[in-house]
A and B are shown apart, each in its own frame.
Chain A
Amino acid sequence: MPLSPAELQTALENQLRALTQSEVRVENLRLLAGGASQQLWSLDLSVASGETSGNYRLVLRRQLGGKIYRDALDLEREFRVMQIAYASDVSLPYPQIFLPDLLGRPAALLHRKEGETIGRRIVRDATFENARKRLPAQMGEMLARIHRVNVERHNMRLFLPHPPVEYSPARWEIKQLEHNLEDVGEPHPALELGIRWLHRNEPPAPKNLVWLHGDYRIGNVVVNQDGLVSILDWEFSHLGDPYQDLSWPLLRDWRFGNDALQFGGIAQPDDFFAAYERASNTTLDPARVHYWIVLNNVRWAVGMLNQARRHLSGEEPNLEFASLGRRCAELELEVLRLIEGR
């Protein structure tokens, strides 16, 4: 879908002029990342007069279609989730405005946070040595903040995916993984063994469903020399078991090659867990962490297969997606190692 920056700039200025009742100027518009499912642009905005007058450093996200998991949020719901997070003192880019129709597609303007997001750099670069010491505890404390948001008060059941009452979060996830594997159509005995193990070791449901970020890990956080700046990528938000978020940043695939350090390739998870426990006044159960590490590995393996299908079906021809079909075996080996003899 070819779209020139000039075309986008004009459309954006027209909408913002109407919304702010002021003269506006969009400058330095450039594409940061773009695929068939989403585009990310960087831009500077100045509003000449009125309540919102001033200069803004922004990113524009534009949704084009295509999803990795069936229950990923659309941009409108993701924007709502970000507003709730912002109001709950979670560090994230301020969600400035949602535009339901920008050249035929939904879009959102968010404040631009300076910092690094690329996992490999956060794990390796000398610049982030101090940040690596602080990040685990900062991320643990921040996750506790997300998990204690009052789901009922924000009516989050109305717009976030959640397990039906008769299912525990784990069983609901397993059910979806089974259906998803059937849709993929290719047999994966290693993942089936993982799923059987998950059935047979299912933990009791948590007392309450909590709000989960859904993709909480190095790679989805903005980091500077002092550590955590903000949390990105809220599209997999849903209600479920807190251990799902707690174990996700520990997955081998999120260690960016630095496998010995279980928390994102930067540390052992002790500081992360301790900070979470302190902030949420709970004691974590290592057996549950292990269970959700297995579940999350199966989930990400299925996610890779889905991405490969987006390429294979012609929905979104993309070499990187195609290559994920062959990376699934890495996660299969991890699942087998995690459940072997247990």
Chain B
Amino acid sequence: MYAEPWENNMQDQPTDRELITAVAHFLQTEIASNVTDHRLKFRALVAANVLTIVERELEMGETLLRAERARLLKLLDVTASDDVYADVEHMTRELARRIRAGQADDGPFHDAVFAHVKQTVIEKLQVANPKYLERVRQETR
């Protein structure tokens, strides 16, 4: 676990994630449930929710980014550089460009692109809103 980039510097406890959890809890229990102004209450809940996104991103972000890169390299048939983030950004731009140019309209490339894009959106939601993802997945259309 010490190989993770965000844990390279040894800091005292609590960890980054534990601090975020503490602030999210504070916002939910001590702020949101005690303020009477409902607009302020709503914003406190938004803030708490944003922190849970950051928590999940710290936990899964790196793994998901690497998986996304692996899929993109295969899909677009390119070789990796030593910068995972830059790779994903460049390839996603290229993918968006090709879709818009009509190069992914039909056939096996369309299917591969669609599968990759859907998987990527699902992974974004695992970070941004796993409850929503679960709700939509359980729905039978």
Closest to A32 in B: B39
Q: A285 in the interface, Cβ–Cβ < 8 Å?
A: no
Question: In the docked arrangement, what's the CA distance between A336 and B139, Å?
Answer: 15
Closest to A195 in B: B100
Set A200, A319, A329: member contacting B46, Cβ < 8 A: A319
Instruction: Please determine whether A193 and B129 come into contact, CB atoms closer than 8 angstroms.
Output: no
Which B residues are within 8 Å of any A CB, using their own CB? 39, 43, 46-47, 49-50, 53, 89, 92-93, 95-96, 99-100, 102, 104-105, 113-114, 117-118, 120-122, 124-125, 127-129, 132-133, 135-136, 139, 141
Instruction: Please determine whether B122 and A333 come into contact, CB atoms closer than 8 angstroms.
Output: yes
A189-B120, A336-B118 are known; give 15 further A-B pairs, CB within 8 A.
A187-B93, A196-B99, A259-B136, A259-B139, A260-B139, A319-B43, A319-B50, A326-B124, A326-B128, A327-B129, A329-B125, A329-B129, A330-B125, A337-B136, A340-B118
Contact with B along A304-342 (1 / 0, CB 8 A): 000000000000000110110011011011101100100
8 Å CB contacts to B: which residues of A157-213? Answer: 178, 187-190, 192-193, 195-196, 200
Instruction: Please determine whether B39 and A193 come into contact, CB atoms closer than 8 angstroms.
Output: no
Closest to A339 in B: B114
Q: How many A-B residue pairs have CB under 8 A?
A: 82
Instruction: Please determine whether B128 and A329 come into contact, CB atoms closer than 8 angstroms.
Output: yes
Q: A33 in the interface, Cβ–Cβ < 8 Å?
A: yes
Residues of B within 8 A of A337 (CB): 136, 141
Instruction: Please determine whether B135 and A188 come into contact, CB atoms closer than 8 angstroms.
Output: no
Instruction: Please determine whether A327 and B128 come into contact, CB atoms closer than 8 angstroms.
Output: yes
Question: In the docked arrangement, what's the CA distance between A330 and B43, Å?
Answer: 20
Residues of A within 8 A of B47 (CB): 319
Question: In the docked arrangement, what's the CA distance between A212 and B49, Å?
Answer: 35
Set A192, A259, A260, A330: member contacting B99, Cβ < 8 A: A192
Residues of B within 8 A of A319 (CB): 43, 46-47, 50
Residues of B within 8 A of A322 (CB): 50
Residues of A within 8 A of B99 (CB): 189, 192-193, 196
Question: In the docked arrangement, what's the CA distance between A52 and B64, Å?
Answer: 65
Instruction: Please determine whether A188 and B39 come into contact, CB atoms closer than 8 angstroms.
Output: no
Contacts A/B (CB < 8 Å), 28 sampled: A187-B89, A187-B93, A189-B96, A189-B99, A190-B117, A192-B96, A193-B104, A196-B99, A200-B105, A259-B135, A319-B46, A319-B47, A322-B50, A323-B49, A326-B50, A326-B124, A326-B129, A327-B129, A329-B125, A330-B125, A330-B128, A330-B129, A330-B132, A332-B121, A333-B136, A334-B136, A336-B118, A336-B121
Q: How far is the CB of B108 from chain A (nearest CB, A)?
A: 15
Residues of A within 8 A of B92 (CB): 187, 189
Question: In the docked arrangement, what's the CA distance between A200 and B104, Å?
Answer: 12
Instruction: Please determine whether B114 and A340 come into contact, CB atoms closer than 8 angstroms.
Output: yes
Instruction: Please determine whether B96 and A188 come into contact, CB atoms closer than 8 angstroms.
Output: yes
8 Å CB contacts to B: which residues of A119-135? Answer: none
Residues of A within 8 A of B105 (CB): 196, 200
Q: How far is the CB of B132 from chain A (nearest CB, A)?
A: 5
Residue among B46, B121, B124, B132 with max Cβ neighbours from chain A (10 Å): B121
Question: In the docked arrangement, what's the CA distance between A78 and B99, Å?
Answer: 37
Residues of A within 8 A of B93 (CB): 187
A189-B113 contact in complex given A323-B49, A333-B122, A337-B141, C-beta closer than 8 Å: yes
Instruction: Please determine whether B139 and A333 come into contact, CB atoms closer than 8 angstroms.
Output: no
Residues of A within 8 A of B49 (CB): 323
Instruction: Please determine whether B128 and A193 come into contact, CB atoms closer than 8 angstroms.
Output: no
Residues of B within 8 A of A189 (CB): 92, 95-96, 99, 113, 117, 120
Residues of A within 8 A of B43 (CB): 319-320
Q: How far is the CB of B20 from chain A (nearest CB, A)?
A: 15
Residues of B within 8 A of A320 (CB): 43, 46
Residues of A within 8 A of B135 (CB): 259
Question: In the docked arrangement, what's the CA distance between A126 and B52, Å?
Answer: 31
Residues of A within 8 A of B127 (CB): 326
Question: In the docked arrangement, what's the CA distance between A187 and B50, Å?
Answer: 22
Question: In the docked arrangement, what's the CA distance between A330 and B134, Å?
Answer: 11
Closest to B114 in A: A193
A336-B117 contact in complex given A187-B93, A192-B99, A329-B129, C-beta closer than 8 Å: yes
Q: How far is the CB of A114 from chain B (nearest CB, A)?
A: 17
Closest to A330 in B: B132
Closest to B102 in A: A196
Instruction: Please determine whether B114 and A329 come into contact, CB atoms closer than 8 angstroms.
Output: no
